[in-house]
């Protein structure tokens, strides 16, 4: 199997433009180090990112890191900036750390730009989750109505970032971790035309780290192939001899350590369907395949003091920042793993490492399809196994999908395209089409109520719907949830 891997990599290097690759590497070597700008630098995840950079410093000679945030996040940015400086000082590496609310200042001559921001902070996510649940539908950060509205708030901001990058760092790579990652990456590459962009997610890494142990193997001893969309993909697994072991792992999928992220409720998958599809779904498929069970669990939490996942995370974040304030803390605290961001730094930092050092290593990323999944447009964004080098991501072909997988993918991709159209142009018709297509949203009266209440709840962050929202307010629309009403008044 190792010889086969080597042959693939050698073939890949022949396809690349070697001269251009040499020029890029020589240009980087002439620099005095790497400049990285992180948009959303006040995030509680930033210490995880810094830990990843510190571990890779010998390969990634970082000169300076700029942490950027908005005025509302100023206090958190200051706290994160202090912890980040202490982490690098404890590591003994001469990296300059800057914090700023001036995005243009941070982007100037950056080599890599990472995005990890949440428009509206966790209060916006609370609205995304509570409003659908009040109407008997799943409320989730990246799926259903909540995921659609997160994209509506995020894409216009990303347009501004890309425009700034065109002027200030036209050769930089944009590494996106902002959710919904696949939709945002598609908007950047396909609609904004910024090709030097790769979308990332930690979910595939969680699978590759946790699944080998289910069949007596160690991480790195199995070979993985992923294909689908962000938070809607499948994978197959092979051992060192090339023998497929997908079925063996699949039998453990409903176990506690079966590869599902800790932030997703473990409603049992129906095994007969999975065995028929002959591929392992990601944990987020539970929201679709076990929709009723996931909804019941979400409603149970919604009606208790625990509240939605977003409300639980807001409390976790409060605890984390209390730890981050400690002037003696100089490393990532273990409590950060409770936020569901395990292996975040491994995905983000290793991707940057692979590009900078032309490593030609396999990773799972969101990138242009280019025929990897034949049933989807060649220029759309998919989440697949790919070889990462100085030229970016080179997707590996999965091949034909089964009928059920193909149908689901085409439906979800069409929904994503409608969301992007709505976000970029404030198109209410496209938004209604996205709601119609999404499997987690009821068509008809209740779904329409969710749409209208979410528009009003997020008015501050949806200026492109400025002609629609006042009409709804005049008609007397508002959320029926008291928590959402308070958050909307405070926004």
Residue positions counted in the chain = 491
Q: Are 427 and 421 in contact (CB under 8 A)?
A: yes
Q: How many CB atoms lie within 10 A of CB 181?
A: 25
What backbone phi and psi angles, to 5 degrees, belong to 36? Answer: -120, 135
What's the rounded Cα separation, in Å, for the pair 206 and 487? 33
User: What does the DSSP assignment read for 9-37?
Assistant: HHHHHHHS-HHHHHHHHHHHHHSSSEEEE
How does strand 232-238 pair with strand 223-229? antiparallel
Q: Are 487 and 126 in contact (CB under 8 A)?
A: yes
What residues contact 344, with CB distance under 8 A and at least 6 apart? 45, 48, 49, 52, 177, 202
Q: Are 79 and 321 in contact (CB under 8 A)?
A: yes
Q: What Rg value do the Cα atoms of the chain yield, rounded?
A: 22
Give kind and range of the element (H or E) at residue 38.
strand 34-39
Structure tokens at 47: 């210490």
Using DSSP's 3-state secondary structure scheme, residue 60 falls into coil
CA angle 470, 473, 477 (to 5 degrees): 145
Q: Are 36 and 332 in contact (CB under 8 A)?
A: no
What residues contact 479, with CB distance under 8 A and at least 6 apart? 127, 130, 131, 134, 453, 456, 457, 485, 488
Sole residue written with tokens 């076990």: 290
Using DSSP's 3-state secondary structure scheme, residue 253 falls into coil
Among 41, 117, 21, which Cα is nearest to 359's? Answer: 21
In the DSSP assignment, the letter for residue 446 is H
Structure tokens at 8: 């693939």
Q: How many CB atoms lie within 10 A of CB 353?
A: 18
Q: Which residues are known to be catalytic?
A: 284
What's the rounded Cα separation, in Å, for the pair 102 and 95? 20
Q: Are 384 and 398 in contact (CB under 8 A)?
A: yes
């Amino acid at each position: 199997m190792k010889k086969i891997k080597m042959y693939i990599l050698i073939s890949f290097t022949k396809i690349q433009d070697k001269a251009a690759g040499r020029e890029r590497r020589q240009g980087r070597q002439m620099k005095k180090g790497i400049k990285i700008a992180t948009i959303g630098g006040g995030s509680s995840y930033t210490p995880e990112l810094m830990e990843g950079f510190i571990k890779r410093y010998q390969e990634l000679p970082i000169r300076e890191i700029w942490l950027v945030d908005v005025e509302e996040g100023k206090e958190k940015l200051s706290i994160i900036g202090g912890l980040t400086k202490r982490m690098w000082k404890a590591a003994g590496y001469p990296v300059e750390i800057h914090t700023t609310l001036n995005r243009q200042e941070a982007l100037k001559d950056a080599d890599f730009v990472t995005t990890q921001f949440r428009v509206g902070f966790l209060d916006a996510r609370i609205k995304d989750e509570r409003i659908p649940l009040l109407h008997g539908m799943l409320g989730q950060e990246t799926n259903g109505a909540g995921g659609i509205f997160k994209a509506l708030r995020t894409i216009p901001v990303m347009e501004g970032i890309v425009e700034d990058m065109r002027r200030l760092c036209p050769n930089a790579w944009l590494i996106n971790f902002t959710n919904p990652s696949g939709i945002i990456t598609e908007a950047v590459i396909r609609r904004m035309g910024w090709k030097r962009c790769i979308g990332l997610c930690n979910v595939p890494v969680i699978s590759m780290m946790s699944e080998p142990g289910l069949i007596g193997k160690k991480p790195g001893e199995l070979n993985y192939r992923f294909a689908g969309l962000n938070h809607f993909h499948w994978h197959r697994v092979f051992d060192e001899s090339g023998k497929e072991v997908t079925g063996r792992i699949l039998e453990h999928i409903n176990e506690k350590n079966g590869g599902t992220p800790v932030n997703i409720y473990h409603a049992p998958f129906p095994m007969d369907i999975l065995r028929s599809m002959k591929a392992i779904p990601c944990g987020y498929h539970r929201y679709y395949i076990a929709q009723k069970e996931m909804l019941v669990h979400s409603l149970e939490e919604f009606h208790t003091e625990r509240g939605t996942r977003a409300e639980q995370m807001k409390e976790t974040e409060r605890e984390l920042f209390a730890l981050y304030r400690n002037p003696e803390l100089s490393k990532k605290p273990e409590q950060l793993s409770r936020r569901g961001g395990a292996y975040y730094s491994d995905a983000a930092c290793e991707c940057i490492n692979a590009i900078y050092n032309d490593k030609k290593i396999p990773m799972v990323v969101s990138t242009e399809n280019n025929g990897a999944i034949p049933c989807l447009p060649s220029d759309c964004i998919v989440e697949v196994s790919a070889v990462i080098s100085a030229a970016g991501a080179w997707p590996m072909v999965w091949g034909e999908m089964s009928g059920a997988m193909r149908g689901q993918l085409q439906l979800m991709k069409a929904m994503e395209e409608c969301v992007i159209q709505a976000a970029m142009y404030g198109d209410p018709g496209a938004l209604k089409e996205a709601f119609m297509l999404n499997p987690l949203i009821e068509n008809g009266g209740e779904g329409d109520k969710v749409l209208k209440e979410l528009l009003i709840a997020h008015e501050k962050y949806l200026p492109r719907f400025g002609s629609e929202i006042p009409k709804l307010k005049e008609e007397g629309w508002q959320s029926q949830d008291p928590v959402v009403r308070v958050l909307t008044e405070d926004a």
